[in-house]
Structure 1
């Protein structure tokens, strides 16, 4: 038999089977006590069409978003564009206010957030990516950050409290209880002079013996982290302990005690750059103690308690800061540690320390703040940055609490600096209600801010985090939708090109 006849026979049989599948009862046919079922094409194609229809509705491909010109009919069911596909981006005529203060983008471009959004879609499924939340006393005690962390863990996976200092008198966290031996000292930008500017991503590091103080004496220092019951299970169930160290001139022994039992031992060799040791904590660590022994103390740039994938969110509270510490440090050393941590997003939330003693012009602050952002982006370009504006603050005038007159000027300076450095911007001042809103946050029952009319209380911190999370997720979902539309349009172009050939 000729090949053509064989093909025709096969196609005929296939066509008959398809026709039978359309008329065969869905519940099958009973014969001799047995139920015989057959492939149901109608049910299959209906399900497929339902999925396709849902996708088309979700991405809202309409005439207004894709214009098809100079069409060529390929067959009775496919019409493609052969010359141009023009995408029109315009604001909806009837915009519904969803109550979310949106994250603002320089030049309306996704480039400011592409690194974090793409990493959430891909890398976070296989390894840990980091979000570092820097701020002043407004975020002390893990306030605001802890609620951002909880939401990010829920949306993208991840466990643990994130990056922690070895020692900091000002450090208190609701997410972890921390203690240490009494011989630790903190070395920070602008305060202590250790002989170099390698301060790391926290803008400070810790030692249990001063730099260069080496003799035959064997020294010992320890730090301990203990779970609390004040946070969610994802924060408590960390799996990996990483220690970032350096600046030690002699070998140091590091021992990890898991729930009081010696679990790991590591030798830290002399090192001028930042290095990392990594330990598996086996999920069941209620209490971790790390003991260092040697003739010299290493500089401890931070300890991370994380999972093995998802997002880690770090709280780096710098009391009294205006956010101008970064350029006081060695930026290349900073970038090296960012890479080791796989940092994908920096959140910078400063301003309340700039507000007192108002002045007319804040160009100086804009330029200083821009120098921080541009410096970070220059040495570590593969990171997204979101600047959170100064919050409202009140002072008493004529017996009433009113906003400081310079709040909006500082907010505008921060926004200008962010946009100049191609960073995203979220307006917390407007989100909380704008002028005189702090007064309302303090006096409302229950209150959302402390009676210093400056700082949020725990309830207010949770509210701020909720507003930020809503804005972030809205931007992320919109980015995904826009990216999917772009892929679809590229597919249309590709199909048109191939058809033209």
Structure 2
């Protein structure tokens, strides 16, 4: 009689699952030949987390808005039509945190603040995907403009990766632009602009900008400043608020140049057309209105910050003639985190080059690094800070100290070790359930904490 083997696969599978289940409760971590091995909870996605369970039971909205776009809260627009949000937990996340390093060089920014309404100036905010979609930057801008003047969004690229979740500007463009950047590739070694990008039209190209209704503080703009180089002697065409089309002349030459399109009044939209192929190398525009502060959002997706060194210092210096930067913020870190990495000396060296270039181009500009924030990983049934965060934070403090700039610890401002979990489970939530990215409300809270610390330092010196 033939033996029945039908049950054997089921027995083997059940045994394997039992072993994996038991192993998920054993905490271990060891290194062999440079590779770190640690326990993995194979069942963590089906186990309940008491904190998450409590959040789900108490939350007004069960939908996770970060499902498609990390950092963008699709429910944010509903706040205009719904009752006032519950800030019971929101306001208590984070803590006041001072600056580390050379705070004396903040004097350039503080001096400019005192005269912002008569002598406009700018802030450049470079960062990784954490600031994509104008996150954090938009709220820093709003807080400072309310107090010191200025009422438009400032810098925008010609082509952008974050148009789907940018809440401050509706930005559309044709699909016939050649692009190069520090975060993609630059096979022709084209000169990159202040944002680390360059855009070349391929004939009958266009771009449109429109003020978003989702930001009540942004009323409109009265002029568009276009930055370009290597132009043919030719015309572009533009219109404001769908009015009749006008033309403007580009000046030939290899240096950075500016073309100002003046609406003569406050408008909500602008369309610019570029009829000729390779008409010029365009770097971006600045939408501007009343005198005050303009805060420019420069997101470099997937970047550690070191690639800013690809922007020629001579080009940065040319931009400094047109853009009066008094503060440069560098917010990077997530893209170099790795639990096996213990030596960040290469990062310290390369970021030192970036800061050196920026200082040469903008000698009377303050520089602040915003540190890596808390990033959680799941160990068993609990979320805890990735150990690499501590190593990177130490490296960033060394960068600030060795290069004579200031550092604001976002890690400490969040609440320090294991704080990301409380931001994710706050009511309303302040971060995505990837335990890495902030949502709109989290970005707003970070901006509040940062500006509060900045103005505290400013008030000490008044």
TM-score by length of 1: 0.70
Alignment of 1:426-441 (within 5 A): 426-441=408-423
More divergent stretch after superposition (133-142 vs 290-299): 290-299
Q: Distance in 1 between matches of 2:142 and 2:161?
A: 25
Residue 119 of structure 1 aligns to a residue whose secondary structure is helix
Q: Residues 180 and 190 of structure 2 are in contact (CA less than 8 Å); yes or no, is this contact kept in structure 1?
A: no
Alignment of 1:56-455 (within 5 A): 99-106=95-102, 109-110=103-104, 112-122=105-115, 124-171=116-163, 172-189=165-182, 191-193=184-186, 195-209=188-202, 219-233=203-217, 235-248=218-231, 250-262=232-244, 264-455=246-437
4+ residue segments displaced more than 6 Å = none
Alignment of 1:441-480 (within 5 A): 441-480=423-462
More divergent stretch after superposition (130-139 vs 407-416): 407-416
- Of structures 1 and 2, the one scoring higher in RCO (CA 8 A, sep 6+) is 2
- Give the gaps of 5 or more residues in structure 2: 1-93
Q: Residues 226 and 286 of structure 2 are in contact (CA less than 8 Å); yes or no, is this contact kept in structure 1?
A: yes
- Give the gaps of 5 or more residues in structure 1: 1-97, 210-218, 481-501
Residue 408 of structure 1 aligns to a residue whose secondary structure is helix
How many residue pairs were aligned?
368
Superposed CA deviations along residues 132-190 of structure 1, whole A, max 9, x for unmatched, are: 11111111111111110001101110010110001123444211100011102321126
Q: CA deviation at 1:254?
A: 1.4
TM-score by length of 2: 0.76
Superposed CA deviations along residues 20-68 of structure 1, whole A, max 9, x for unmatched, are: xxxxxxxxxxxxxxxxxxxxxxxxxxxxxxxxxxxxxxxxxxxxxxxxx
1:103/1:128 CA distance change after superposition, 3 Å: same
Q: Distance in 2 between matches of 1:99 and 1:169?
A: 32
- Rg bigger for which structure? 1
Q: CA deviation at 1:379?
A: 3.0
Q: CA deviation at 1:368?
A: 1.4
Q: Residues 201 and 338 of structure 1 are in contact (CA less than 8 Å); yes or no, is this contact kept in structure 2?
A: no
More divergent stretch after superposition (361-370 vs 147-156): 361-370
Q: Residues 255 and 262 of structure 1 are in contact (CA less than 8 Å); yes or no, is this contact kept in structure 2?
A: no
Q: Residues 167 and 185 of structure 1 are in contact (CA less than 8 Å); yes or no, is this contact kept in structure 2?
A: no
Q: Residues 183 and 302 of structure 2 are in contact (CA less than 8 Å); yes or no, is this contact kept in structure 1?
A: no
Q: Distance in 1 between matches of 2:234 and 2:378?
A: 55
